[in-house]
Amino acid sequence: MDWEVIFRPESLAMYGEGVLTTLWLLASSVTIGAVLALLFALALTGPWKWLQRIVGAYTFVIRGTPLLIQIYMIYYGLGQLEWIQARWDDTWPWTHFKEPAFCALLAFSLNTAGYTAEMLAGAIRETNAGEIEAAQAFGMSRVGLMWRIVLPSAMRRTLPAYSNEVVMMLQSTSLASAVPGLLDITAAASRIYSDFYLPFEAYLAAAALYLIGTFALIGLFKLAERHFLAHLAPRRN
C-alpha cells in the first residue's frame, strides 16, 4: 500500500474539505429534519384524520424507498424539469435547484424528517397516562399539555432511537458523492482513487474518518442520555 499519497498536503486538504462538507450536510439536514419531524409528529398524533393520512403517506414513501433514489429524484428529476429550469435565475425557491448542495441537503432533510417523525409520534402516543391526567387536573389546556408535558417527555424517550438516526445520517451523507460537483468525504476518496488508482488507501482513509465521526456522535449522545434520562436509570441501593 502507498500511504504517502494519502498524507500529501493536497490529499489532506481534499479530505479536509470533504469533512467540512459532510459535517455541514449532517448538521443542516438534522436541524431542518428535526423541525419538520416535530410538525409531522404533531400532525400524525393530532385530531385531523385527513392530515394524518397525508403525513402518514409521506412517511411511508420516505421510509419505503432508498435514500439514493430520493437524491436522484430531486437532483436528476425535479432539478431537470424544464418548468423549474426556466425559473432557475429569478424565482425562489427554484433558484436553489441548480445547486448540487441544495438538492442533496433537501433529500437528506426530507429523509430524516420522515424517520424521526414516526419515532416522535410513537413516543407521543406512549406518554404515560398518569402524566396527562396530572396535567389535566391542574387545568392545563390541550396546547399547554402538549408543549409542557407530552413533548418534553416524548423527546427524552426518543433520544436513544434518535441517536441511531443521526449516526445513520452521518453515514448516509456518503451518498452525496452521487451528486456531481459536491465534494464530501466519499467524493474526496473517489478523486484520489481516480487520480492515483489507490482504491484501498483512499477508501480506508474515508472509512476511518466516518468511524471517528460515528464514535464522536455516539459519545455525545451517551452524555445527553445520561443527563436527560437519568431518572430512568436503575436506582443503586
Number of domains making up the chain: 1
410513537: which residue's cell? 122
**Residue written as cell 480506508?**
204
| Distance in angstroms between the alpha carbons of the first and the last residue of the chain | 55
Q: What is the CATH number of the domain that holds 166?
A: 1.10.3720.10
pLDDT of 234 higher than 70: no
Q: Please, what sign has the CA dihedral across residues 204, 208, 210, 211?
A: positive
pLDDT 10s digits, 81-102 = 777 777 767 777 777 777 888 8
What's the DSSP call for residue 180? T
Of 170 and 234, more confident: 170
150 found inside a domain: yes
The answer to whether residue 100 sits within a structural domain is yes
C-alpha 158/C-alpha 129 separation (Å) is: 17
Share of the chain above pLDDT 70, in %: 93
- Residue 1 belongs to a domain: no
Q: Is residue 205 part of a domain?
A: yes
Containing structural domain, residue 44: 9-232
Which one-letter amino acid corresponds to residue 41? A
Provide the grid cell at 209.
474518518
- pLDDT 10s digits, 55-86: 999 999 999 999 999 999 888 887 677 777 77
Residue 212 falls within a domain, yes or no? yes
Select from 124, 115, 156 the least CA-distant residue to 42.
Answer: 124
